[in-house]
Homo-oligomer: A and B are copies of this chain.
Amino acid sequence: MLIGELAERAGTSTRALRYYETHGLVRAARSANGYRVYDEAELHVVREIRALLAVGFGLDDIRPFVACLRAGNTSGHVCPDSVAVLRRKLAEVDAGIERLHAVRQELRDQLTHAIALREETCLRLRGPAR
């Protein structure tokens, strides 16, 4: 399987695949003419990468999952390192949610405050003793 086919089957681009390779995530043999040649297993690797990227992982976070797959596991999640990353990411997401909630509260406060001020101004413009 050449890079174009893998890209299409994995739903990504050739550029991304080369990028993953330079970052040690995807491996390819080389044919006589220098083309990258992938076996079927890489398809699963790339799909794993894509799925984790979509969830918001960085390439560094994904590395343990790929290693886990290469170690022969059907899922990249079952190895200790992967689980550790999952836990860390879960904590990060929790922190993110908490931060967004705080921001949301702040925004709501500012909104209600702004609207209150506007109405006050409107009343003043229409006359104080109405």
**What residues of chain A have their CB less than 8 Å away from a CB belonging to chain B?**
55-56, 75, 77-78, 82-83, 86-87, 89-90, 93-94, 96-97, 100-101, 103-104, 106-108, 110-111, 113-115, 117-118, 121
Do most interface residues of chain A lie in helix, strand or loop, or is the interface mixed? Answer: helix
Cβ-defined partner of A107 (8 Å) among B55, B78, B104, B121: B55
* Apart from the given pairs A86-B110, A93-B104, A97-B104, 17 other A-B contacts in the complex at a CB distance below 8 Å: A56-B103, A77-B110, A77-B114, A77-B117, A78-B117, A78-B118, A82-B114, A83-B111, A83-B118, A86-B107, A86-B114, A87-B111, A89-B107, A90-B104, A90-B108, A93-B100, A100-B100
Query: How many copies, total?
Result: 2
Complex-state Cα separation, A68 to B111, whole angstroms: 14
Whether the pair A107, B93 counts as a contact (CB closer than 8 A) is yes
Residues of B within 8 A of A113 (CB): 75, 77
Cβ-defined partner of A93 (8 Å) among B103, B110, B114, B118: B103
Residues of B within 8 A of A110 (CB): 77, 86
Q: Interface centre among A56, A77, A121, by most B CB within 10 Å?
A: A77
